[in-house]
C-alpha cells in the first residue's frame, strides 16, 4: 500500500545541511494500523509528511497505492492528496466554519456538488458521533470532539490512507482512548490504512498492528507490536516500553493499596493473561478443584490492537492449605500469577 524506498530528506538550516530523515525504506500493508514512535526531533513528523507530499524527499521514492508521488507535478500531487486524509495534534479546524462546514471543506476542494457534500458530511458526522453538534463552531467543542471533527474531515473524500500526526497528544487519557477506539473502528469498517506517529507507546500498544521506532532520523527497530513489546532490541525501544508500563503501574499500584485495605481477608492475587487464554474458565476450575471461594475484585483487559492482555485481581478465601493449593493450581495454567502482599 505504502512503500518508501531509500528516502532521505535534508533541510538547510542556516545553510548547514540537516538530515531529518536518513535513508529509510519502509512498507506498510493495506488495512494496517502502522505506528511510528519516537521522541520529538526524531524525524517522524517529516517522515509522515513525506507520505502526502507536504515534504518532498531529497532522494528516494514514495509510492502510495501504486502511484509514485515523487515525479508528480504540484497539481498532480494535490489531486493525489485528496485520497490521503490527515489529522493533527492541534486539530487544525477552521474556526470560521461550523462542524458541518469544516467536514464539507475537503469536499469543496474535490469539487463535489453542494447537496452531495452536505449528505456526505452528515454521514461522517454521524459516524464520529457528533450529530447533535453539526451546527456548532469549533470553539464550542471539547478537545475530543474537535479531533472527531478532524477525523470526519479527513475521511470526507474516502481516503485510502489516514495519516495521524500526534492525534491524541493534546488529549486527556480518557479522550485519547475514545479517539483511538474511533480510529480502530474506522480502520476496520472503512478499511482505511492508518499511519500514526506518536511519542506515546501506549497509543501504539492500543491500536497498532506494527510499529517502527525512530531515532535521529532513522528507523532503528520495526516489527509487529506484540513482537516488539515482547522482545525489544534497542535501548530506545526498551525505554519507550518501560515508560508505557510505568504509567500503567502507577495507576495499578494505587488501586492495589486501596484493595489491600478493603479486602483484609484471604489472599489477593493478580493474574495476567495473554491472548487466547483470556476466555478460558480458569477461575471456576480452580475454585471447584480446590474447594475455595474466589472473589473477583477487579478485572481489566488491556488490549493491544488484535491480542488482548487481561489482568484480573482475585481474592482467595479459605484456610491456608486451600489457598496454597489454589495458588499452585493457578501456576499450572498459562497465566502469570503475582501474590499481592498485605503487609506493605
Partner 1 sequence: MFNQLLTGSILAEYTDLQEVPWDRMWNATQQTLYMTAISVLLVFIFGLILGLILYETRHHQTIWSVALYKTVSVFVNIFRSIPFIILIVLLIPFTKAIVQSMTGPTAALPALILSAAPFYARLVETGLREVDKGVIEAAEAMGASKLELILKVYIPESLPSIIAGITVTAISLVGYTAMAGVIGAGGLGNLAYLEGFQRNRASVTLVATAVILIIVFVIQFIGDRWVSYIDKR
Give contact residues for partner 1 (rule: CB under 8 A).
Answer: 52, 54, 75, 77-82, 84, 86, 88, 90-97, 105-106, 108-110, 137-139, 157, 163
Q: Are 94 and 106 in contact (CB under 8 A)?
A: no
Which residues are 2's β-sheet partners? 28, 64
Strands 161-165 and 84-88: parallel
Helix (H) or strand (E) holding 22: strand 16-28
Closest CB 184 distance from partner 1, rounded Å: 22
Cβ closest to partner 1, residue 85 vs residue 217: 85
Closer of 111 and 115 to partner 1 (Cβ): 111
- Smallest distance from the beta carbon of 114 to partner 1, in angstroms? 14
Decide whether 110 or 255 has the Cβ nearer to partner 1. 110
Shortest Å, Cβ 82 to partner 1 = 4
DSSP 200: -
Strand, helix or coil for residue 286: helix
Nearer CB in complex with partner 1: 45/287: 45
* Nearest-approach distance from CB 219 to partner 1, in angstroms: 23
Burial of 97 (0-12, 13-18, 19+ CB in 10 A): middle
If the CB atoms of residues 84 and 226 are measured against partner 1, the closer one turns out to be 84
- Please give the Cα distance from 341 to 268 (Å, whole number): 8
Question: How many angstroms separate the CA atoms of 15 and 20, rounded?
Answer: 14
Which residue carries 533541510 as its cell?
Answer: 11
In the complex, the smallest distance separating the C-beta of residue 240 from partner 1, rounded to whole angstroms, is 26
Amino acid at each position: 500500500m505504502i512503500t518508501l524506498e531509500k528516502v532521505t530528506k535534508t533541510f538547510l538550516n542556516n545553510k548547514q545541511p540537516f538530515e531529518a530523515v536518513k535513508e529509510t525504506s519502509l512498507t506498510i500493508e493495506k488495512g494496517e494500523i502502522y505506528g511510528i514512535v519516537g521522541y520529538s526531533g526524531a524525524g517522524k513528523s517529516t517522515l509522515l509528511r513525506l507520505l502526502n507530499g507536504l515534504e518532498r524527499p531529497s532522494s528516494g521514492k514514495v509510492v502510495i497505492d501504486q502511484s509514485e508521488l515523487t515525479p508528480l507535478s504540484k497539481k498532480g500531487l494535490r489531486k493525489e492528496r485528496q485520497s490521503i486524509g490527515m489529522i493533527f495534534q492541534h486539530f487544525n479546524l477552521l474556526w470560521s466554519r461550523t462542524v458541518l462546514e469544516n467536514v464539507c471543506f475537503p469536499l469543496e476542494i474535490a469539487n463535489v456538488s453542494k447537496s452531495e457534500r452536505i449528505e456526505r458530511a452528515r454521514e461522517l458526522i454521524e459516524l464520529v458521533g457528533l450529530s447533535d453538534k453539526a451546527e456548532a463552531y469549533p470553539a464550542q467543542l471539547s478537545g475530543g470532539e474537535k479531533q472527531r471533527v478532524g477525523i470526519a474531515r479527513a475521511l470526507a473524500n474516502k481516503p485510502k490512507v489516514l495519516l495521524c500526526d500526534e492525534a491524541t497528544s493534546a488529549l486527556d487519557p480518557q479522550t485519547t482512548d475514545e479517539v483511538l477506539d474511533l480510529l480502530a473502528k474506522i480502520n476496520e469498517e472503512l478499511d482505511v490504512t492508518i499511519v500514526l506517529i506518536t511519542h506515546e507507546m501506549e497509543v501504539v500498544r492500543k491500536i497498532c498492528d506494527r510499529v517502527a521506532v525512530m531515532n535521529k532520523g532513522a528507523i532503528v527497530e520495526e516489527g509487529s507490536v506484540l513482537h516488539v513489546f515482547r522482545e525489544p532490541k534497542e535501548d530506545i525501544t526498551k525505554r519507550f516500553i518501560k515508560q508505557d508500563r510505568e504509567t500503567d503501574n502507577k495507576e495499578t499500584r494505587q488501586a492495589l493499596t486501596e484493595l489491600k485495605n478493603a479486602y483484609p481477608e484471604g489472599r489477593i492475587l493478580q493474574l495476567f493473561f495473554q491472548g487466547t487464554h483470556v476466555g478460558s474458565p480458569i477461575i471456576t476450575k480452580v475454585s471447584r478443584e480446590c474447594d475455595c471461594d474466589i472473589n473477583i475484585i477487579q478485572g481489566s483487559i488491556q488490549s493491544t490492537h488484535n491480542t488482548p492482555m487481561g489482568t484480573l485481581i482475585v481474592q482467595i478465601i479459605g484456610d491456608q492449605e486451600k489457598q496454597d493449593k489454589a495458588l499452585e493450581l493457578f501456576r499450572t495454567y498459562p497465566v502469570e500469577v503475582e501474590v499481592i502482599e498485605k503487609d506493605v
